[in-house]
Amino acid sequence: MAKVLIPGSFDPLHNGHVDVVDQALELFDEVVFAVLVNFSKPSGLFGPDERVALAVDTFSDRSGITVGAFEGLVVDVASAVGADFIVKGLRTAADYDIEQQMAHMNRSASGIRTVFVPCNPEFSFVSSRFIREIASHGGDIDHLVPAPVSAALTDRFAGRGQ
CB-nearer residue toward ligand PNS: 73 or 115? 73
Backbone φ and ψ for 15, nearest 5 degrees, come out as -65, -25
Distance CA 95, CA 10 (A): 16
Q: Determine if 105 is a binding residue for ligand PNS (CB under 6 A).
A: yes
Is residue 17 annotated as a catalytic residue, yes or no?
yes
Is residue 41 annotated as a catalytic residue, yes or no?
yes
Could you say which of 40, 41, 63, 108 is catalytic? 41
Give bridge partners of residue 8 from the DSSP assignment.
Answer: 35
Q: Is 33 helix (H, G, I), strand (E, B) or coil?
A: strand
Chosen residue from 73, 80, 90, 134 binding ligand PNS by CB under 6 A: 73
Is residue 91 annotated as a catalytic residue, yes or no?
yes
Binding mask 4-43 for ligand PNS (x = CB under 6 A): ---xxx--------------------------x-------
Could you say which of 88, 128, 132, 150 is catalytic? 128
118-121: list long-range contacts, CB under 8 Å, 24+ apart: 118/89, 118/90, 119/16, 119/19, 119/20, 119/89, 119/90, 119/91, 120/16, 120/19
Q: Provide the annotated active-site residues.
A: 17, 41, 91, 128
Binding site for ligand PNS (CB under 6 A): 7-9, 36, 73-74, 102, 105-106
